[in-house]
Structure 1
């Protein structure tokens, strides 16, 4: 390579790196929900979901980091059984009047050698109580959406926490303390 061409190549590469910045995404409400499971009397699994979720993601592949902010509207709890949903909204459970939203905010991303997110660690706030929470990726992928003509990143994540850590102790020990979260999200580049 001639010296002038090498210099131009170096400057182009440097300017590309200098202008690289985090890409901003917004959660797609049609593909973003959180499902929960907990053991009921040791016999079966109680399941439900929240959503659609609202939130944003900022992802910087070059720097291998990101930030995610997710808002969960707690009154939108749905188990498929209206009487149970009403019970879950009460003050000794989700306390939706006093705490109509739960939040997950994270800035610690584990990213593998191929640039794929393997875990996201941050703080989950429920009923006004914040606790550390790690979402482990079952899968994560970015692609160009044929519908939006923009990049979409998404995945399935799993986490566990004890509901008693957030002050939800009603029905213990008959209804399990350990809650399994299954989070599905897709976010569209802005």
Structure 2
């Protein structure tokens, strides 16, 4: 009897541990990827990418996860079509040859129960390098508009050297190498 009770307890605990891991689909209507880059040390050029997709795997109990976000580089929008065309050109993003950028985060860092940052790799213009997205805000909630399905997300940001990815246009003119990227993400539990 004791062995049966012990076995049942172990199965229940194993089931709870497994139940903590979940997959979330990126909600494209609540997910935005934007960038900022100084222009000759005066104003700031800004833009966003309108098309993105991805998934998040999150195990809150084990404090582990994985995220994959793919951005359509042809969906860039700065509010100025001529600037958009220049950004898509071979001089900068070369979106005809490299139509997507991708972030794959494999190490979730927690502070308490909240995601504090995600370490991963960014692939841009065919080059891959390490990037850490810092969580400025992270939360999970039951969405009243989605029949109380769980939604997790936050604002994540990073600043990186764009020349490491072959995007060095304007550096010789005095444009900075650093680009700030902010990704606002909300993902729905599947």
TM over 0.5: yes
Rounded to whole Å, the distance in 2 between the matches of 1:15 and 1:165 is 44
More strand by share: 2
TM-score, L = length of structure 1: 0.91
TM-score, L = length of structure 2: 0.91
More helix by share: 2
Rounded to whole Å, the distance in 2 between the matches of 1:87 and 1:95 is 9
Rounded to whole Å, the distance in 2 between the matches of 1:51 and 1:132 is 24
CA shift at 1:33, angstroms? Answer: 1.2
Cα distance change of structure 1 residues 44 and 154 upon mapping to structure 2, 3 Å threshold: same
Aligned residues: 186
2:89 is equivalent to residue 85 of structure 1: no
Match of residue 133, structure 2, among 129, 132, 135: 135
CA shift at 1:51, angstroms? Answer: 2.5
Rounded to whole Å, the distance in 1 between the matches of 2:157 and 2:54 is 18
- Aligned position for 1:120: 118
CA shift at 1:17, angstroms? Answer: 3.0
Contact persistence 1:30–1:52 (CA under 8 A): no
- Aligned position for 1:184: 184
Contact persistence 1:32–1:51 (CA under 8 A): no
- Aligned position for 1:41: 40
For residues 28-55 of structure 1, the C-alpha deviation after alignment (integer angstroms, 9 at most, x for no partner) is: 0001111100110111111111123200
Rounded to whole Å, the distance in 2 between the matches of 1:7 and 1:168 is 60
Contact persistence 2:17–2:61 (CA under 8 A): no
Cα distance change of structure 1 residues 9 and 75 upon mapping to structure 2, 3 Å threshold: same
Q: Secondary structure at the match of 1:147?
A: helix
Choose 103-112 or 12-21, whichever is displaced more.
12-21
For residues 149-184 of structure 1, the C-alpha deviation after alignment (integer angstroms, 9 at most, x for no partner) is: 210001001100111111111111432211011110
Rounded to whole Å, the distance in 1 between the matches of 2:17 and 2:176 is 51
Root-mean-square deviation over aligned CA pairs: 2.0
Q: Secondary structure at the match of 1:42?
A: coil
Contact persistence 2:105–2:120 (CA under 8 A): yes
Cα distance change of structure 1 residues 94 and 10 upon mapping to structure 2, 3 Å threshold: same
